[in-house]
Amino acid sequence: TNALLEGRVARTALLATEGFTDLEELGRQARPQLYRLCAGAPPPLVPAELRVAVPERTGPDGVLRELDEGGLREALEGIDCEAAAVCLLWGFRHSGHERRAAELVTDVLGDVHTSTSHDTAGVFREYERCVTTVVDAALSPLLRGYLERLTERAAEAGLPEPEVMLSSGGTAGAAIAARHGSWTVLSGPAGG
C-alpha cells in the first residue's frame, strides 16, 4: 500500500488492444464534480511512451482479428521496463491472445514480471481489469523481492514460510502473494 501511494513502483508497460491504450488515464468518466474541467487526477502509473497497442481484437463470441505476433514483437522492441501489464478486450472470457502476448513479452524483453488481466482480475469491465492489472504488474517485482528476503530469513530462523494477508481478508503463501501484488494492497497491519 505504501509503495503504491508513494509511487515507488516498477517501471511498467501496458499492452492493450489497439485503440484502448489510454484506458488507465481516461478512466470512468464518473467524477464528483462533473463539469469542473480543472479537477486534478493522479497521474497514470504507465506513461504514454510505455503503452503498447496490441494488433488484435476479440469480442464476446471469440476472436474477431487474430493477434499479429510480428507487429507486437516490433512494437515491443526498445521498450525499457521492469514489468508489463497485458489487458486486452474480452481477455477475461477469451484469454488466448493475452497468454500469447505475455509469452512474446518474455521472448522480446526477457525476464520482466508480466501480469495478465484474465489471471489477475478476470472480471467484466475493461477499466477495472486494466487498472488492477497495471497495479499488479507495478507492485509485484517489489513485493517479490521483499517476500523472498523475508522467506529466506524465516527459514534461517527455523520459522515456517510466511503467509500474507490478502485484500479479500484471506491469506496466501509468500510465492502466490509475490506473483499478484495487487491482491495484497489493502492488507497489512491495518487490515489485520
* pLDDT, tens digit (0-9, with 9 covering 90-100), for 61-111: 999 999 999 999 999 999 999 999 999 999 999 999 999 999 999 999 999
How many Å apart are CA 150 and CA 171, to the nearest integer?
16
**Which cell numbers in the block locate residue 104?**
512474446
Q: CB-based burial of residue 69 (10 Å sphere; 0-12 exposed, 13-18 middle, 19+ buried)?
A: middle
Residue 141 φ/ψ, nearest 5 degrees: -60, -40
What does the alpha-carbon distance between residue 33 and residue 40 come to, in Å, rounded to a whole number? 11
Cα–Cα dist 129/87, whole Å: 7
Taking only the tens place, the pLDDT of each residue in 140-179 is 999 999 999 999 999 999 999 999 999 888 899 999 999 9
Q: Measure the CA–CA gap between 134 and 115, rounded to whole angstroms.
A: 8
Residue 190 has pLDDT above 60, yes or no: no
pLDDT for position 150? 94
Taking only Cα atoms into account, the Rg of the chain, rounded to an integer number of angstroms, comes to 18
Please, are residues 117 and 88 in contact by the beta-carbon 8 Å criterion? yes
Query: Over the stretch 34-56, which tens digit does the pLDDT of each residue have?
Result: 787 787 778 899 999 999 999 99
* Separation of CA 87 from chain center: 8
Contact present, 93 and 61 (Cβ < 8 Å): no
